[in-house]
Amino acid sequence: MEIVILPLSIISIFTIVFIIAALFYAIYKKWMMTYAIIAISFVVFVISLIFSEEIVGELAFRPIYLTVEFFPQLYTLFSSMFLHSIVNPLHIIFNMFIFLLIAPNFEDRIGAKKFLAIYIITGFCAAIAHSLVAPFFSNDPNISKIGLVGASGAIAGILGAYAFSYPRDMVFFPVIFIIRMPVIYAGIFFLAMNTFFTIMPGETNVAYSAHVGGFIAGIIMGAIFIRRKGPALNEPITKEQRIYDSYTQQKPSKIDFSELKKLATTRELKEMLVKIKDENVPQVREIWLEHFLEKTICPKCGSPLNHFDEKIWCEKCDFKSKY
């Protein structure tokens, strides 16, 4: 089985640059990282359909890349999580569907930057876990040379971090049928099923061990990156506790919506402003207000705005406001 060595083809270099640039642009524009990752994955999928030999051959991760001889190929730990099977389009469709079910709520909880960090780190860990574990349970002598593609390891990491940090949050998850359940139960079901298939003998095209590794890495990342775990399973929980963090500082209830309305230039921001107006729980209102302010841009120059202590200002021009 041929192992591709640097230098990369032009299209592979373009694909890597596109992924990185798109992620940074999404951060700069304060877009929802969940939707940005989904969009990037589908664009890369289309590129893979056109240039399948170069993209899949050069950007897929193989366990053998962890050896000294192929160490320069470790960039594929990153690129492989944005690739998907071109033979079976259901691979990317199912992955992105599961991602869409669980990720937006979790990203709303912790913010886009922290969310992206967990996504990428657990994606790395998932591929490494597959490299270390799969040879013990696979009958294929070439397992170390088989390319690994897909976002499922990183998605498993997001699920693990979410289940650990906010176990009582309700999500939709496929268990024969798509049902609504606490994310901790979705996580337990996911981990049990993938552990079972990992240790089952025989050949498979699915890297179940990567799913298990990503999920466990997500639990660890949740413990490291997120300040507050959700309440324990036997701890009573109120409606408000399901949607705000207890450490969030409360702000005065009076808000000058006339000033904020000037910044609501998109449909998303206008909808957020309505939620802020209608919310009676101070902590919940604060979270919505924080999301609103993070997504606003300067009405004069279009740059991101800063906010603190009920003041809003732009560092690129002289715009200032209060709320």
Query: What confidence score (pLDDT) does residue 11 get?
Result: 92
- pLDDT per residue as tens digits for the range 45-81: 999 999 877 788 889 999 888 888 888 888 999 999 9
- pLDDT per residue as tens digits for the range 123-170: 999 999 988 887 777 766 677 788 889 999 999 999 999 999 999 889
In Å, how far are 86, 111, 150, 179 from 90, measured between CA atoms? 9, 29, 12, 21
For domain 10-225, is the CATH number 3.40.190.10?
A: no
Q: Cβ atoms within 10 A of the Cβ of 281, count?
A: 14
Query: What confidence score (pLDDT) does residue 233 get?
Result: 36
The model scores a pTM over 0.85: no
Peptide bond into 63 cis (omega under 30): no
Beta strands in the chain (DSSP E): 170-175, 177-182, 306-308, 311-313, 320-322
The boundaries of every CATH 1.20.1540.10 domain in the chain are: 10-225
pLDDT at 190 over 90: yes
